Amino acid sequence: MEKLLIVKTGATLPFLLRRRGDFQDWILSGMGVRANDVMVLDVRGGSRLPEYGGIRGVVITGSHASVTEHSDWSERTAGWLPGAVERGIPLLGICYGHQLLAYALGGEVGDNPSGREFGTLEVDLTEATRKDELLSFPRSLRMQVCHSQAVLRLPDGATRLASSRLDPNQAFLLDERAWGVQFHPEFDAEITRAYIQHYRQELVAEGQDVDRLLAGCHDTAWGHTILQRFAAIVGLSSGV
């Protein structure tokens, strides 16, 4: 039976892991899919990525690592991704996964020149989303955001789908079935606040108002809607 593959590229903060579970748990919860329809593969331990034939879709998680570290497991995953895109397998890269997908297809990733971007923030959608399967929404969304690196240059042929005040490449589409989103559709306000608190010193050092960021965190429905739409694209739910 074909399964949805979740490529696990990292784990959350230890206290969140104990209380709330990990990235893949939040993704599955947001999608509303059954665990036996999913295969979770932690690539950091050297696990071999599967053949493409048994996969109905791919989600690449976030990570505390950086794409620019060029870790062996990250480079192996980057080498596998073009084959999935070429075969038209629906693919969703989240945060690190968004950056890794862009890098794997010829884009450029590095430290965000505008600094760290944390909080429940406005993400503006481009005209291209009007006909997009995943992101056909009103012109702007409030999303959970948490990153220090960014996609600095999109791969050739990619379509920009969203931007924010500090990041012009919040989302993109490549070859009609491969999406990258810098924001976190699987996060809620509690998780975002935890990350802001964890990186408080770094944010303060950049001159950011951490208390304002914390006060601005709130739950929105858009993230789970996006995850449910992706589940529908791969044939695992009725979607939204």
Q: Which of 146, 184, 217, 224 is catalytic?
A: 184
Q: Do residues 41 and 47 make contact, with C-beta atoms less than 8 angstroms apart?
A: yes
Please identify which of the residues 98, 146, 186, 217 carries the catalytic annotation. 186
Alpha-carbon distance of 146 to 195, in angstroms, equals 7
Interatomic CA distance for residues 209 and 7, integer angstroms:
34
* 95 catalytically annotated: yes
Closest to 147 in 3D by CA, of 123, 130, 126, 129:
123
184 is catalytic: yes
β-sheet bridge partners, residue 93: 60, 180
In whole angstroms, what is the distance from residue 25 CA to residue 6 CA? Answer: 10
- What's phi and psi for 170, nearest 5 deg? -75, -25
DSSP assignment letter at 222: H
At 240, which helix (H) or strand (E)? none
Q: Choosing from 95, 146, 147, 224, which is the catalytic residue?
A: 95
Partners of residue 65 on adjacent β-strands: none
Helix axes 72-86, 96-104, angle to 10 degrees: 70
Q: How many CB atoms lie within 10 A of CB 94?
A: 28
Residues serving a catalytic function are 95, 184, 186
